[in-house]
Structure 1
Amino acid sequence: MDSKVYFIGAGPGDVDLITVKGRKILSSADVVIYAGSLVSREHMNYCREGVKIYNSASMTLKEVVETMYEYYKQGKRVVRLHTGDPTIYGAIKEQMDELDKLDVAYEVIPGVSSFTAAAAAIKSEFTLPDVSQSVILTRIGGRTPVPENESLEKLASIGCSMALFLSVSMIDKVVEKLKRGYGRNVPAAVVQRATWKDQKCVVGTLDDIAEKVKSKNITKTAQILVGDFINCKYEKSFLYNENFTHMYRKAKNENRSD
């Protein structure tokens, strides 16, 4: 077994939404450091007997890195289990930079993000023809500031689909900024704990979403989705159009002999 640190995306909640590769590595790990405030403890049921388990919710960056390094030096396989996909708001860059200084080998295994899980929960598609072909992933500034040129007003003014992380606790402020940016009332949805057993979904518009969120007592661990894609008319894709030709399929009228 190789001695390496693996940053693995555990998925948004449902333990079966970790990738096959991620679970395979997790099941063979000697040490697991998991984000206990967001990652289901059920993932530990797939670990082998004798595995060392650490909950990073109470650990500092220094403690996490020191723990990974100590076991790596012993030739152990270490898994750093993050929620969703670790490359989105995962704070893994600072961990990898420290491991680079220590000459520790590591690999990143992607996972299902909460923003795609949230869209699936409300049975929507972010990218509809003639509606939006772009998705913005962002957040409102809080304890961690957001660059001025990435303000919600500026991003919303583009008019495309949006998914906001780490922002539902400031829903009134979020709505105010989005209204200024979009310049009109648009569909909005909030999904709390997407794919968990206690998942909550609220669908509305910028005019009423804040009150609906408050009535459901949603204050954290939620995605805010915004854009016409949630509820609109749209053109069908060319992909499956019978008269659209591509390398795998000829148009129906091309096969006619008359």
Structure 2
Amino acid sequence: MIDFVGAGPGAPDLITVRGQQKLAAADIVIYAGSLVNPELLKSTRPGCEIYNSAAMTLEEVLAVMQRGEREHKNTVRLHTGDPCLYGAIREQMDRLEQLGIAYEVVPGVSSFCGAAAAVGAEYTLPGVSQTVILTRLEGRTPVPEAERIPALAAHGASMVVFLSAGMLKKLSRQLLEGGYRADTPAAIVYRASWPDQQIVHTKVGELAAAAASHGIDKTALILVGEFLGDEYQRSKLYDPGFSHLFREASQ
């Protein structure tokens, strides 16, 4: 059995209970060394084989998984955040299915959740935004034309931009092109939940300058939208004048 485990955004205690149990029972761990906190590896038992996938190809990762399966060992593929976001797990799972190797995915806390917690923000605010767009700027890996930043920015929704901290001049330009104002609130969250976490509050038109002034050029999420502002409507969920399945209106 291969277990794909979400490691969470960084802090070792933000891995799920199930993920922690899988890690503790593993004979082999293949972890995304460029992003996963190595403190998590302290949960492995003595003799556990540890591989850093940052220096490995897909074929090399699969070879370790196949050997582990032949030797009847428990293998954990430890991904950052939640594996379903920018984890490149589909190609691994498809190959495992071709090989007849069983696998399971253990979800994790994504960094976009860790970033919101760090900032103290709610992405979905009544009267402001009810949609969250998770995306990235095109770089060496392209994005579909309909999903380029200007097209997505036209919605004016809450946006979280991954893998783009080193291209903020371009990101800012495309956000403005799509319709965000230059003074739209934004935040740069560097290594959310890690001990060296940094939060930089800024505006869409000032993203590049704000990041440069704090020495941030990688490992940061960019949050964009009016959800970072001060105005919103009260939720109906706890409004005394609003009835729903579990409560009658009191006013």
TM over 0.5: yes
1:192-236 deviations in Å (ceiling 9; x for gaps) = 100000011111111222211110010001000000000131001
Aligned mate of 2:232, from 212, 231, 234: 234
Q: Which AA in structure 2 matches 1:227?
A: G
Deviations 1:155-214 (A, max 9, x none): 000110000000010000000000111242311111010000001111111122221111
Is residue 38 from structure 1 mapped to residue 35 from structure 2 by the alignment? yes
Q: Matches of 1:207 and 1:74 in 2, distance apart?
A: 55
Correspondence 1:143-154 to 2 at 5 A: 143-154=140-151
Moved over 6 A (4+): none
Of 166, 171, 195, which residue of structure 1 is paired with 2:168? 171
Gaps (5+ residues) in structure 2? none
1:22 is matched with which residue? 19
Write the distance in 1 (CA, Å) between the matches of 2:44 and 2:120.
33
The question of whether the paired residues in 1 share the 8 Å contact of 2:169 and 2:207 is answered with no
Tell me what 1:211 maps to. 209
Report the count of equivalent residues. 250
CA contact (8 A) 2:156 2:180 kept: no
SS in 2 for 1:224: strand
In 2, distance between residues paired with 1:172 and 1:27?
43
What is the Cα-based RMSD across aligned positions, in Å?
Answer: 0.9
- 1:243 corresponds in structure 2 to 241
For 2:205 and 2:38, the matched residues in 1 are separated by 38
Cα distance in 2 for residues equivalent to 1:191 and 1:98: 35
Match of 1:98 among 80, 95, 114: 95
Per the TM alignment, residue 64 of structure 1 is displaced from its structure 2 partner at its CA by 0.2
Q: Write out per-residue CA displacement over residues 1-36 of structure 1, whole angstroms, 9 at most, x where no aligned residue.
A: xxx100000001001110011001110111111111
Aligned to 2:197: 199
- Distance of 1:22 and 1:183 partners within structure 2: 39
What runs of 5+ residues in structure 1 fail to find an aligned partner? 254-258
Q: Conserved in 2, the CA contact under 8 Å of 1:84 and 1:114?
A: yes
**Within 1, Cα distance between the matches of 2:118 and 2:176?**
24
Equivalents in 1 of 2:165, 2:22: separation in Å? 33
Q: What is the CA deviation profile of residues 20-66 of structure 1, one whole-angstrom value per residue up to 9, with x for unaligned ones?
A: 11001110111111111111111111111221111111111000001
> 1:202–1:209: 8 Å Cα contact kept in structure 2?
no
Q: TM-score, normalised by structure 1?
A: 0.95
The correspondence for 2:188, drawn from 178, 187, 190, is 190
Taking the aligned partners of 2:136 and 2:22, their CA distance within structure 1 comes to 31
Aligned equivalents of 1:14, 1:149: Cα separation in 2: 35
Match among 83, 107, 119 for residue 110 of structure 1: 107
Instruction: Give the Cα separation in 2 of the matches to 1:184 and 1:175.
Output: 10
